[in-house]
Structures are given as structure tokens and as C-alpha cells.
Amino acid sequence: MKNLAINGGPRAIEGVLPSFRDTTGRTFGKAESDYLREVMESGRLSFLTGPKTAAFERRWAETYGVKHAVAAANGTAALHTAVVYLNPEPGDEIILSPITDAGTVIPILSQLAIPVFADVDPLTQNMAPASIERNITPRTRAIIVTHVYGHPADMDAILSLARKHKLFIIEDCAQAHLATYKGRLCGTIGDIGCFSFQQSKHMTTGDGGMVISNDDGRFGRGLRHCSDKGWPRERGGRDHLFLAPNYHMTELQAAVGLGQLEQLDSFVTNRVCAADRLTELLADIEVQPVLPLNDTKGVYFFYSFRLDPGKLTAPVADIIKALVAEGIDGFIGYPGPIPLYRYPVVRDHKTFGNSGLPFTLVGARRDDFNSALCPEAEKACRETVCMWWNDRFEERHLQQMAEAIGKVVSAYRA
């Protein structure tokens, strides 16, 4: 134990690892600068007068081979746009994972729909189809499928449930840029796909998002109108057809997005290569990496691994402190040490004033958001180490990370 950095020993990782937080781990090239300059020199910072947002949407649609791509202010906005498009009745239910960002549940609550949490598969930490099925009721309208850590969920099983129960599938690809399931790009497998370009994502515009779909308005609403105040601008004049937020992306974000998209393939390839190499280096260490399913391409938003508390002399939270002291950029569990439903917004219905809406709607489903709700998600949050991942990791970084993990895990082995 003496040689652990947390006890004053030498750190396994020299210096700091490349990080999404700054230029150590974010690559902005000449294209981003040129496009940004064009926007500034044109004086056209809004999509209403400038061409960059439309160009970014076009390129994203081409990359994904879809008919519609609508840029949004951020990933939560993209998901909210998708839920506005679905137009649920208040009290309708939408199934989601407890292992995801708050940005997945906020749109559901904002539209007065009820979030219903399906438990996860212990290996992938994506929603388990059997748990989804158990949670389907006559009021279920949709499933939001988060491909967590960038690893595709079990889409064949989920699609077959959707077909059987006539459910709409929203893919939350905020962590899954260019991930594929059986050769198909995530975001194009369900009915609608949502992306985030927040600072930590595979590519970034600071904040930003995108919604894609091949759907032509089956719920009587145009996708673009769902993030534009319900406004059918293409008809000319001013009209507001239904309640919808304003989630425009700016031309500044789109300028950066266009440049980043040119590099996205190499960002993703580098992340995956680095992750595969770390998995090799960890082969003899008692940790269980969270890996993509067979026949899928997972794109490693985080590199996550499970620890078995029964085989350790200290709680996982303490092990993580020791790892951080060695220089690892990581934390316990996703979205944290507890699943999403145990945060006050969901658990205590901290929504609209003191109304408790939508949970207090007459006839609405009322789950107890306690630790008994999704046992596998509870365990996963307690036992998983998530490491921020980066396309700039080199062999020396990966060697040092493996050394740090090996050193700490063996020091705490029971």
C-alpha cells in the first residue's frame, strides 16, 4: 500500500492526461477557424440569415444517410425536440434507462409525460429488453434508447418490442457518434436519433445537438417546427401551430461543427483503438471492462470497467480516490453513484412549482423512485469506474493507465 500515490508514493501517470476540457485533448483545426471567421466577417450569426447551420445539417444528413437533420442548441434540446415531435398526451409513458444523463429525462418531464425506468443489462449497462417489456403498459408511447458509453443497445430485441406494441423509438446517441449496430449507424435504427456536441463529446461545438429522422411527420407535426416555436417559416409570414421551444443552433456553433465533422471519423477511430489497446493491457488485472456487444461498433465515450466489491478490502469509492491520486481522470458510476431516478428532480417530483406534475395527473403511473426500482442499475452505479476517454491518448498514456489500475487493484485485493 505504501507505494500508492494516495499514501505519498509516486504517481503511475506522469503529468496530466489529454483531456476534453482544453486543447490537451480537443483538436480544432484551420477549418474551424476559417469557418468561424467567415461567420464573424459576414455579420450573420443566426441561421435566419447565414448559411452555416443549413450546411452543417446537410453534411450530418449525408453522413447518416437520412432525409431530415435539424440542428439544436444542445443534446437535451435535441431530445426535447424529439419528444415534442411525438406529442404525447399528459400522463403518457416513455421508457428510458436509469443510466443516462439528466438530459434524457428532462424532455419527458417537460412534456408532462411520465418517465418509466427499465433496468439494465449488467454487462453492457444498456437497457435490458426483458425489463423494457415488463414496463410496457397501454399508456406507453415511446422508448428512449440511450447507447450508453457509446456502445449500442440490443436494438433487434428493442425494435421487435416496438413493433409489437406500436412504440416510437428515440435513440439517444449523445455518446454514440458513428457507433454501429450490425452495420447500421446508431441514430438511424429507430424512428429518430439525437446527438450532443457538448464539450466532452466525440466532437464538440461547446454546446450543440442534432436530431435526425426519415419520418415525415406521422404525428402531424413538422420536425423542424418542434424546435422553432411551432413556426412553419417555409410558408412565409408568422404562425405558431403548437407549443414548442426555441432551440436554434447559432452559426458560430455550426461553423465549429462543420470543421469538427471533417475530423469525426479520425476522432472516433482513435478513441476505439486506444480503448481496444487498454482492454488488452488490462487482460490480467481483475477488472471487467464494459465492452460493446458482438457485431456492434462501440465508440467509447467513457472507458468504463466494473470492480467486484466482494474481492476488495475497501469500498469502490475509496478505490476511485486512489486511482485519481495516481492520475486517472475518472469517477464512480454513471450518471453518478446512484441511478438517474434517485436525483431530486425525479425522486421528489421537483418539476413545476409544488404541483408534482406530471406524476400527480389523475390516473398517472406512480413508481417509487427508490433503490429497489432497478437493482442492476443500482449495482452498476456503485461498482463502475468511468474514465474520461480521449482521441489523443497514446501508447505511453495507456501503459501508465494500466499500471495505475493494476497497482491500485492489487493493493486493495481482499
Ligand X SMILES: Cc1ncc(COP(=O)(O)O)c(C=O)c1O
Q: Which residues bind ligand X (CB under 6 A)?
A: 74-76, 100-101, 103-104, 146, 172, 174-175, 196, 198, 207, 209
Q: What cell numbers appear for 332 in the block?
A: 464512480
* Torsion of Cα atoms, 51 then 175 then 213 then 137, to 10°: -150
Q: Decide: helix, strand or coil at residue 11.
A: coil
Hunting for cell 443566426 — which residue is that?
46
Q: 76 or 253, CB closer to ligand X? A: 76
CA distance 261 to 60: 8
Which helix (H) or strand (E) segment holds residue 143: the answer is strand 140-146
CB of 48 to ligand X, least distance (A): 23
Hunting for cell 412553419 — which residue is that?
232
Q: 177 or 397, CB closer to ligand X? A: 177
Q: 70 or 408, CB closer to ligand X? A: 70
Q: 196 or 296, CB closer to ligand X? A: 196
Neighbours of 207 (CB within 10 A): 19
Q: 180 or 400, CB closer to ligand X? A: 180
Q: 145 or 162, CB closer to ligand X? A: 145
CB of 169 to ligand X, least distance (A): 15
Neighbours of 80 (CB within 10 A): 27
Q: 95 or 409, CB closer to ligand X? A: 95
CB of 99 to ligand X, least distance (A): 9
Q: What cell numbers appear for 9 in the block?
A: 508514493
CB of 330 to ligand X, least distance (A): 16
SS (H, E, C) 175-218: CCCCCEECCEECCCCCCEEEEECECCCCCCCECCEEEEECCCCC
Hunting for cell 417509487 — which residue is that?
368
**Of 95, 197, 184, which Cα lies nearest the Cα of 146?**
95
- The answer to whether 385 and 285 have CB atoms below 8 angstroms apart is no
Q: 331 or 412, CB closer to ligand X? A: 331
24 vs 20, 171, 177, 272, CA distance in Å? Answer: 7, 31, 21, 18
Residue of minimal CB distance from ligand X? 75
CA distance 38 to 33: 9
CB of 151 to ligand X, least distance (A): 12
Q: 198 or 351, CB closer to ligand X? A: 198
Q: Decide: helix, strand or coil at residue 99.
A: coil
Amino acid letter for position 224: R
CB of 7 to ligand X, least distance (A): 34
Q: 13 or 176, CB closer to ligand X? A: 176
How are beta strands 184-185 and 180-181 bridged, if at all?
antiparallel
CB of 101 to ligand X, least distance (A): 3
CB of 27 to ligand X, least distance (A): 19
CB of 334 to ligand X, least distance (A): 9
- The answer to whether 210 and 70 have CB atoms below 8 angstroms apart is yes
Amino acid letter for position 209: G
CB of 284 to ligand X, least distance (A): 31
